[in-house]
Structure 1
C-alpha cells in the first residue's frame, strides 16, 4: 500500500520522507475559501478538520492509485481568537508579524485519512502553542522579501528562515511544520493501517 499526500507542501513532504515514507504527491485543488464560506458557524478546530477532509475527498475522486491511503492536512494559526491563514501578499505578511511579535499563538492542524480500497475514514485535529520573538522591522522586511512566509499558515515556518523568530513551541514540532506524525499514526491505526507497513 502507498500513501498519497494530498498537499503541495514541500515541508509536509519532507517530514514524511524523513520519517521513512516516500509518498505519492497529489494536490487536491480544493477551494479553501468556498469550504470556509459553507461553514460560517464552525469552530476553528472544526474548520481545519473539514478542510483536511475536503482535500482528502477531492483526491479520492480523481486518483488512479486505488490501493493507496490518502492523508490530507490543513493548518491555521489562531492569535487572540483570530484565525490567520496564508498571508498571500507581502503587505499581509508584515501585518501578521506586527500582530504575532512577542505573543503566543495556537497552531491548529487538521488531518484526514481515507483508505481507497474499503472507504474507511478518520479525521481529527491537534493544537500546538507557538511563542514568537520580537524581530526588528528590518528583520521582518527581509523575511517577507524572502517569500517564505507568503504561502504558509500564519506567515511563518519553524523549519526554515522563520525559525529564527520563534522562541519555542509547546507541543508537536511536526504538526507546526504541517503534518503531525503522532496524529497521522493514530488516524492510520483507526482505519486499520500500521504506519510501519508504509515504510
Structure 2
C-alpha cells in the first residue's frame, strides 16, 4: 500500500524508511502563515498549539490528496504533519533568522523545558481495487465522527486527541523536552552558526546536532522529529483498518 508524504522533510522521510516504509514525497505548497492567520481571524483569538499543528497538518494532507503525482492521480494514503514548540505558554515555530534562534534558545534554557506539539492528518485516497474473489471493491472512507464537527472548517482538537471524519483522520501527539542545565552561550552560538535550527520548529532537532543538548524526552521520540510513529499506527487502525505492516515496502 502506498503512503504519500505531504512534505519534503528529510527527517520524516528517514523516520519512515527506518520503519520499513518508503513514502512518495510531495511538497504540499501550503502557506502556513496565511492559513493560521485566517483561522485566528475567524476565531477572534490565537490558536492553541494542538489547534495550530492539526490545522496545518490537515491543510497539507488535503493539498496533496487530490493532486496528480508523476502524471497519475494519488492512489493510497496521504500523510500531512506539522510541529510547534511551546515554552511557558508561548508557541515557537521556525525562527528563520539566527538572532531569533539565539533568543529562543536563551528563553528555552531559562524555562528548562517545553512541549513539542505534533499534528497529524491521514487522508484516504485509495482507488478501486480487486478483492480476493476477483470482484471490484472500493475501500470505504473512514467512519464519520460522532461529534459532528467538520474538521476542515477551523481549529480541530485538543491535546493528544484523535478525530475520525469522512475520508480523513486527524490527531495530535506531544512530548515534553528537558534541556541541559549547563548549556552556555558559546554552545548556543556554535549551534546556531550551523544553520540547522533555522528552519525547524523550536529551533532544534533531536536527530541532529542538538541531541546532546536535550537531557530528557517524555513522550514518543519520533513525535519530536515531526511524525509520531505510535500515533500514525493508531490512526491507520482506527480510521482505516490498515495495519502497520501493510505499509512496509516489499523487498
TM-score, with length taken from structure 1:
0.96
Aligned to 1:55: 60
Verify the 8 A CA contact 2:66 2:74 in the aligned structure 1: no
Matches within 5 A, 1:44-193: 44-64=49-69, 65-102=73-110, 103-117=112-126, 120-133=167-180, 134-189=182-237, 190-193=239-242
Aligned to 1:7: 7
The SS at the match of 2:66 is helix
Verify the 8 A CA contact 2:3 2:23 in the aligned structure 1: yes
C-alpha distance in 1 between matches for 2:78 and 2:227? 13
C-alpha distance in 2 between matches for 1:44 and 1:177? 16
C-alpha distance in 2 between matches for 1:43 and 1:91? 25
Query: Please, which moves more after superposition, 154-163 or 60-69?
Result: 60-69
C-alpha distance in 1 between matches for 2:200 and 2:74? 30
Verify the 8 A CA contact 2:81 2:119 in the aligned structure 1: yes
Unaligned runs of 5+ in 2: 127-139, 142-166
Verify the 8 A CA contact 2:58 2:170 in the aligned structure 1: yes
The offset of 1:68, in angstroms, is: 1.4
Tell me which protein shows more helix as a share of its residues: 1
C-alpha distance in 2 between matches for 1:22 and 1:110? 21
Aligned to 2:159: none
Aligned to 1:198: 247
C-alpha distance in 1 between matches for 2:215 and 2:67? 41
Verify the 8 A CA contact 2:67 2:74 in the aligned structure 1: no
The SS at the match of 2:114 is strand
TM-score, with length taken from structure 2:
0.77
C-alpha distance in 2 between matches for 1:114 and 1:74? 15
| Count of residue pairs the alignment pairs up | 199
Deviations 1:100-148 (A, max 9, x none): 1151100000000001135521001011000012421111111011111
Query: Please, which moves more after superposition, 76-85 or 117-126?
Result: 117-126
Unaligned runs of 5+ in 1: none
